[in-house]
Structure 1
Amino acid sequence: METTSSLFRSVSRRVWSPPQRPFRVCSWNREVKKGITAGTLEELKEKAAQALFITTVLTLVCEEDGTEVDSDEFLITLPDNTIFMALKPGEIWKPHPLLQRGGNKPGHSKPRTGKDIAQVTFDLYRTHPKDVFGSLNVKATFKGLYSVSADFQCLGPKKVLREALKFMSTLLHAAGHLLITSASVIRRIIHGADLLQGQQAQPVEYWE
């Protein structure tokens, strides 16, 4: 009875498992960044710990503003490719040095006195080590209130090869039809020329 119950529980877990979503995690100093996929918060923490080689209990916060992710319900509301920061005990979230208010940008000796209108960030990453080309994430923030993001997924080697083979198959199919049509037209022309030559070779009889 226990075996049947455990089997039913295992099958139910597989059937109702949430879909895998792409995320990115980074270390507290933002020097290491990895791309992973997960369906639940527990799975996300496990894969983040494996990717960043963390053996202790970690806390995940949003890299942008430091909001702690503590439930699956909140994780569902976040978009794909959200960047999380993995914090070990004793580590705290800090804003990015280039995005701190009142900070100086590289190459500028004086602080800015103007007001930000829009900010656009480009992030090139890979979701799988075998990807030929990386994926590009573009995020734009207007006046610090509205943000729009777009993610451009690139094809892996298998998909690139599959699309190339499909294109070659279509091209060869069209070339085959063209050759068959050309051969049929040439055959008709040759047959018509033979008939015309045979008619010209016949003697013409005159009646007196």
Structure 2
Amino acid sequence: METTASLFKSVSRRVWSPLQRPFRVCSWNRDVKKGVTAGTLEELKEKAAQALLISTVLTLVCEEDGTEVDSEEFFLALPDNTVFMALTPEETWKPHPLRQRGGNTPGESTPRTGKDIAQITFDLYRTHPKDVFGSLNVKATFQGLYSVSADFQCLGPKKVLREALRVMSTLLHAAGHLLISSAAVIRRIIHGADLLQAQHGKPIEYWE
């Protein structure tokens, strides 16, 4: 009975597992940044601790303003690719040095006097150390009201090799069909010339 119950719990956990979403986590001094995926707040804390090599209990706050993420409801309300800062009990959140001096942090555009029509941001990150090119997130905001985002997941080394072999196989298959068709056409031309020669009873003269 215990084995059946544990098996049922394992299957239920896999079936009802939450959707994995991409996030980024950084250390308290912003020197280390990692990309992780998680479906719950507790899972994000565990993966953040593993990625940043933190062995103690940590607290997650929004990197931009230091808002603590302490509930599952607030975590689910945050958009994908949100940047979190992992803090140990001895560490505290501090604003970015450039933002604290009133400047622009890296990646922020220079303020303009006119009204923006559209703003497009590109974010390149990695969700796995073995990723070759990294994943790309594109976010477009129109007149500050409508926002559209697209996430392009990268391919690992095995998937890249598999896709390359698949393309090569398709090209070779097409080349084989082309050679077979060309051989059939040439054979028909030769057979037609031989048949015409047999009907007229004299060799066919080929002009150069």
TM-score range, shorter chain: 0.7 to 0.9
Deviation of 1:148 (Å):
5.7
The reply on whether 1:70 has 2:94 as its aligned counterpart is: no
Deviation of 1:156 (Å):
1.9
* Aligned-partner Cα distance in 1 for 2:81–2:49: 17
* Aligned-partner Cα distance in 1 for 2:84–2:114: 25
In structure 1, the gaps of 5 or more residues are 107-111, 203-208
User: Rg larger in 1 or in 2?
Assistant: 1
Matched with 1:59 is 59
* Aligned-partner Cα distance in 2 for 1:142–1:66: 27
Matched with 1:80 is 80
C-alpha RMSD of matched pairs (Å)? 3.1
The reply on whether 1:11 has 2:3 as its aligned counterpart is: no
Matched with 1:103 is 102
* Aligned-partner Cα distance in 1 for 2:67–2:6: 37
Matched with 2:133 is 133
Instruction: Label 1:117 to 1:137 Cα distance change in 2 as closer, same or farther (>3 A).
Output: farther
Instruction: Label 1:144 to 1:85 Cα distance change in 2 as closer, same or farther (>3 A).
Output: farther
* Aligned-partner Cα distance in 2 for 1:65–1:180: 67
In structure 2, the gaps of 5 or more residues are 203-208
Q: How does 1:1-208 map to 2 (within 5 A)?
A: 1=1, 4-100=4-100, 103-104=102-103, 122-138=122-138, 149-201=149-201
Number of residue equivalences: 196
Instruction: Label 1:117 to 1:59 Cα distance change in 2 as closer, same or farther (>3 A).
Output: farther
- Other structure's SS at 1:81 match: coil
Instruction: Label 1:181 to 1:26 Cα distance change in 2 as closer, same or farther (>3 A).
Output: same
Contact 1:117–1:142, Cα closer than 8 Å, also in 2: no
Q: Deviations over 1:34-79 (max 9, x none)?
A: 1122221111111111211212211101112222212222222222
- Identity of aligned pairs, percent? 81
Deviation of 1:94 (Å):
2.2
* Aligned-partner Cα distance in 2 for 1:146–1:66: 26
Q: How does the TM-score come out when normalised to structure 2?
A: 0.77
Q: How does the TM-score come out when normalised to structure 1?
A: 0.77
Contact 1:131–1:155, Cα closer than 8 Å, also in 2: yes
